[in-house]
Structure 1
Amino acid sequence: MLILIDKIVSTVLQVEQRFGRKLEVVDTPGIFDTSFDDKTVCQQIAQCIGLTLPGFNAICLVLRPDRFSKEMVETVELFFKFFGRGVDAYAFVILTYMETEEAMKNYIKGGEAKPDDEGQKAFQVLRKRCQDKLLCIDNKASKNVKEQMVWNILTAIDEANAKASRPYFQNRLTRSIEHRALTDYYLTSGLGSKRSTDGNHYF
C-alpha cells in the first residue's frame, strides 16, 4: 500500500492492477496546505491510516522541485513525528516534472551548489529525512515513458522494503487503530455479542 502526499481536497483510496500486482494508493488531503492547523493534519493522517491497515509499504512525498519551503518541511516533520521512530525507512520523495533521472541528478547537484537558498535548505532537510530515497516522474511524458518511471518507483520501493525490518510499516499507533477498527466491526455486526455468549473473545 502506498500513501501519496499531495495537495488535494479529500482522502481518496484507489485500487488498481499494475504490472501484474494489486496496488492500493491513498492520496492524503492537502497535507502541505499551511492553512490547516496541526490538529486537522493529524486527524486526516489518522483517517488515512485506517485505509492502509495492517500497514503501508511506502510514504511518497510527491512534490514539484520549485515548491520546497521551510513551512513545508515543518509540516513533513509533524507527519514523521505523528508516526514515530522507523517510518523514515518507508519514506520517499518523488520529484515531478523531471524528464529523466539524469535531470533529477542535475537538479540535486545544482542545489548543492546553492547552500544559502531557502528552498534548497528545505529540500536538503527533506532529503535527509527520507534517507536520500529520491525518485522522479515526468507528468508530461508519453504513456510508455511514464509506465517505465512508475515501474522504477515500484522497484525502488520493493528494494527498500526488502532491506527494512518488515515489508510494511507498523507500530503501536497503527496497531491501536487496527484494534479499534476490528472492535468496531464486531460490535456493529453483532458478532461481538454472540462471541461473548460463547465464552470466546477476539481481543
Structure 2
Amino acid sequence: MSERDWICCGRPVTVVDTPGLFDTSLSNEEIQQEMMRCIELLAPGPHVFLLVIAVGPFTKEERETLQLIKMTFGQKAETYTMEAERAFRLMQMNREKEEELRQEIEAVKATYESEIKEIKDKLEEEKAKGKIREFLLVERGITMLRQRRENHRH
C-alpha cells in the first residue's frame, strides 16, 4: 500500500494504491484487511475506486475483485468503481470538449479581432479625413491671405 497527495483542479487529492487485488498469495480476508487499512487513510472515505485492468474480456479474477470490493465497501461500491479504460475514455471526451471550447474561443477572438481592426481602420480613416480637412482649411486660409495682400498692393 502506498499513499500520495496530489493537487487536481486546485483541490487536494489523495491517491491510495491498494494491495494487489489479483495477488493470489493473499487470502480474500487478508486483502480485505489491507484494504480497510487503506480506507483509514482516506477518511471520511473514498470517492472513487479506480480499477486498473488490461483491455479485453473480464477475467474470473477481475470479476472476483469487483465482488471483493462490493463485499468490503457495500453493494453501492460498484457505482463508484471506474475502470482505467473508462477513465481513459472520459479523459478523451474531456480533451475533445476542451479542444471544441478552444476552437470556439479562437473563433470568437477572431471575430472580435476583425471587428476591432475595422474600428481601428475607420478611426485612422477619420483621422486622415480630419487632417485633410485641416490641411484644406490651412491652404484656403493661406490663399485668402495671399489674395488680400494682392488686393492691398493694387
Q: TM-score by structure 1 length?
A: 0.41
Of Structure 1 and Structure 2, the greater strand share is in: 1
Give SS of 1:135's match. Answer: helix
Q: Figure out how many residues of one structure are paired with residues of the other and give that number.
A: 95
- Is 1:72 paired with 2:62? yes
The structure whose Rg is larger is 2
Cα offsets for 1:48-100 (capped at 9, x unmatched): 110111111111111221473112211221221121132222111112xxxxx
2:74, 2:34 → 1: CA distance?
16
Cα drift, residue 151 of structure 1: 9.5
The answer on whether the counterparts of 1:34 and 1:71 sit within 8 Å (CA) in structure 2 is no
SS of the residue aligned with 1:47?
A: helix
Q: What pairs with 1:1-203 in structure 2 (closer than 5 Å)? A: 11-66=1-56, 68-95=58-85, 134-136=86-88, 149=91, 152=94
Consecutive unaligned residues in structure 1, runs of 5 or more: 1-10, 96-133, 138-147, 153-203
Tell me what 2:142 maps to.
none
| Displaced runs of 4 or more, over 6 A | none
* 1:39, distance to aligned residue in structure 2 (A): 1.4
Q: What SS is found at the alignment partner of 1:136?
A: helix
Alignment partner, residue 110 of structure 1: none
1:36 maps to amino acid:
L
State the structure with bigger RCO (CA 8 A, min sep 6), 1 or 2.
1
Measured on the aligned residues, the alpha-carbon RMSD in Å equals 2.6
| Structure 2, gaps ≥5 residues long | 95-154
Normalized per residue, the structure richer in helix is 2
2:50·2:84 contact (CA, 8 Å) conserved in 1?
yes
Does the 8 Å CA contact 2:69/2:77 hold for their aligned counterparts? no
